[in-house]
Amino acid sequence: MDTVIRGARVIDGSGAPAQRADVGLTDGRITEIRPEREGGGAAARLTARHTLDAEGLALAPGFIDMHAHSDLALLRDPDHSAKAAQGVTLEVIGQDGMSYAPADDRTLAGVRRAITGWNGDGGDIDFDWRTVGGYLDRLDRQGIAVNAAYLIPQGTVRALAVGWDDRPATEDELRRMRQLVAEGMAEGAVGMSSGLTYTPGMYAPTAELTELCRVVAEHGGYYCPHHRSYGAGALEAYEEMVGLTREAGCALHLAHATMNFGVNEGRAPELLALLDRALAEGADISLDTYPYTPGCTTLVAMLPSWASEGGPEKVLERLADPATRARIRHTMEVEGADGCHGVPIEWDTIEISGVSDPALRPYVGSTVAESARARGEEPFVTAHRLLTEDRLGTTILQHVGHEENVRAIMRHPAHTGGSDGILQGDKPHPRAYGTFPRYLGRYVRELGVLSLEECVAHLTSRPAARLRLPDRGLVREGYRADLVLFDPDTVAAGSTFEVPRAYPTGIPHVLIDGRYVVRDGHRTDVLAGRSVRSA
């Protein structure tokens, strides 16, 4: 064998009790698991060219981040310790309905502008692809730190076929969108995502989404929506997603599923009851969450959808017009914009986490309300200045979550882990660097919300099952040697809201295909990641 991991506490990802065992690896696969005899000691210890003494460590399958925004970070940053150091061995990208394939030159330029706050403007990237297959080929050709699976972004597809206008698609445009989704699935995408509070994806009616989900289902994929509201009308938004995927015969995976804002405090049981009824009726549903209460997005996402129609340049034109700007303000502060989930915006919950223009960095770390008070102006005036001077590139933390909802949802059997990690900005959300160790340290060891074995299953085998990966997500003979070793007594997220880019503790070793990407707590130079394509 190439490597033997000796004496580890094997938590195999199935939810079964841990057992001490030697685990042998050869050619990137788990080739033998030899449990210790009762009373201690293996019947005969496994031997290999290299031996890792794992005394005191737990051995688990590599963690699968079901909601990542590393679409350009994988190409920009070969080190990618933000995820590798957490024990993540596979990320699912192409999230929230906006990414960089499929596209033409015109669409790509608009998408780059629209999600600068998520991934940067991409000026340092050679966009030498236009198709889903071309993007996945680029990942493989360049070599990446961790594995990556891709969701076809429905908003990008709509921008390519329809444009950025708020109108129904014509028959020809719908036919074109179905074709684009079918091509993307055939080229290796695992499903389709939507961002239904982001333009232009939000302009798609239920019937249009249903038609695209039929195509996804024909190719064995799943639909991953950021649905129309996490605030006012949240349950109705969840019901829409459950209903349309049932009609389309498509598996459903709810992105960063939670119940936010004051209107939803304590209402997670209502969401879970809705899902349980659908599951009992035969629906195929899973979900992901991150173990934090604040969310993270862009400041421009808070605007009403009508103000974003036509794309980024149209947004800036409307913000420059006094009458339209006043209408935008009224919608946001009085009526509750759909971009802010139907809830009147509370500027003291909106913290600036990143800017594209370095001259605006003094705003970072303060809420819009705090910055406004310091300048002796109204909060909307401050927000307007940021939007215009930063050319819509500002990212925010939105402090609107509820801890009891977070805990209730993570206990559900359909739950998986997703960081929703945006790596841009001077002060990103700590979930980008801390989601998986925080689950293990905070919610397992400190709070006991989940048992260790159950939590590992949420982070490994359950997402692997959703992705239909036949040889990942478990510590089993014949499976890929994508593995993480951690100390259950010390594992913890190092990242905080004050120091968001600190690495975790208690995760000394991470392997992908049997190769160390993290060894003795340090990132190696190994690029063992590849695109993971649907079969």
Q: Retrieve residue 346's tokens.
A: 């509370």
Q: Retrieve residue 113's tokens.
A: 């502008």
The answer to whether 235 and 270 are in contact (CB under 8 A) is: yes
Q: List C-alpha distances in Å: 498 to 68, 297, 503.
A: 22, 18, 13
Q: What is the pLDDT along the chain (535 residues), one digit of tens a residue?
A: 999 999 999 999 999 999 999 999 999 999 999 998 766 555 688 989 999 999 999 999 999 999 999 999 999 999 999 999 999 999 999 999 999 999 999 999 999 999 999 999 999 999 999 999 999 999 999 999 999 999 999 999 999 999 999 999 999 999 999 999 999 999 999 999 999 999 999 999 999 999 999 999 999 999 999 999 999 999 999 999 999 999 999 999 999 999 999 999 999 999 999 999 999 999 999 999 999 999 999 999 999 999 999 989 999 999 999 999 999 999 999 999 999 999 999 999 999 999 999 999 999 999 999 999 999 999 999 999 999 999 999 999 999 999 999 999 999 999 999 999 999 989 999 999 999 999 999 999 999 999 999 999 999 999 999 999 999 999 999 999 999 999 999 999 999 999 999 999 999 999 999 999 999 999 999 999 999 999 7
Which pLDDT does position 37 carry in this prediction? 77
Using DSSP bridges, classify how beta strands 415-417 and 285-289 pair: parallel, antiparallel or unpaired.
parallel
The answer to whether 93 and 69 are in contact (CB under 8 A) is: yes
Which pLDDT does position 41 carry in this prediction? 56
Q: List C-alpha distances in Å: 106 to 60, 66, 110, 164.
A: 44, 29, 7, 11
Which pLDDT does position 40 carry in this prediction? 59
Strand order in the sheet with 191-195: 63-65, 88-93, 147-153, 191-195, 222-226, 251-254, 285-289, 415-417
Q: Retrieve residue 306's tokens.
A: 């009508």
Instruction: Tell which residue, 98, 156, 104, 157, has the closest CA to residue 130.
Output: 104
The answer to whether 436 and 87 are in contact (CB under 8 A) is: yes
CA gap 218, 174 in Å, rounded: 17
Peptide bond into 200 cis (omega under 30): yes
CA gap 533, 74 in Å, rounded: 16
Q: How many residues does the chain have?
A: 535
The answer to whether 517 and 122 are in contact (CB under 8 A) is: no
Q: Retrieve residue 375's tokens.
A: 């300048």
Instruction: Tell which residue, 534, 533, 535, 531, has the closest CA to residue 138.
Output: 531
CA gap 470, 174 in Å, rounded: 33
* Residues facing 151 on adjacent strands: 191
DSSP state of 231: S
